[in-house]
Amino acid sequence: MADVPLYVVSDYSSSERRITPSWSIAQLKKKLEPITGIPPSCQRISLKTTANETIPLEVADEEAVYLQSYPLTPYAELRVSETGHRPYLYLGTPARYIWQHGCRGNDTCYYVFVYCGSPCR
């Protein structure tokens, strides 16, 4: 099956990408991380078809479900959103500095710039 051009849209980026229908959802999420900045475990993906139908790409086993089982039409939109707060944000690959994020009980959030010494993982 040939690659399908899709628009990948997140809160931080938007671009046209060629998606291979034989990829699993887990593979897609790994490939979207450098584009969106959202780690795979924090991604929520939905497919908005050219007929304006929105289909969530949420399954129990992301390794076993392939994109070819969805109606991928050229120039449809893959919407990638973040499911929750990340404990830190990478600043480069690999980064030696990260922003550490946390919240106190009274919902006061804080950010700290941390030096890791070696590449952060």
- Rounded Cα distance between 29 and 50, Å, is 22
Could you tell me the pTM of the whole model? 0.68
Q: Where are the domains of the chain?
A: 4-82, 85-121
Non-local CB neighbours of 2 within 8 Å, separated by 6+ positions: none
- Note the pLDDT of residue 31: 95
- Note the pLDDT of residue 83: 80
Per-residue model confidence as pLDDT tens for the chain (121 residues): 799 999 999 987 899 999 999 999 999 999 999 888 888 888 999 999 888 899 999 999 999 999 999 999 999 999 999 886 555 554 444 444 444 554 444 444 545 554 444 444 4
- Note the pLDDT of residue 112: 53
**77-82 and 4-9 strand pairing:** parallel
**Overall fold of domain 4-82:** Ubiquitin-like (UB roll) (3.10.20)
- Spatial contact of 78 and 94, defined as CB atoms under 8 Å apart: no
Q: What confidence tens digit (pLDDT) does each residue in 53-69 have?
A: 999 999 999 999 999 99
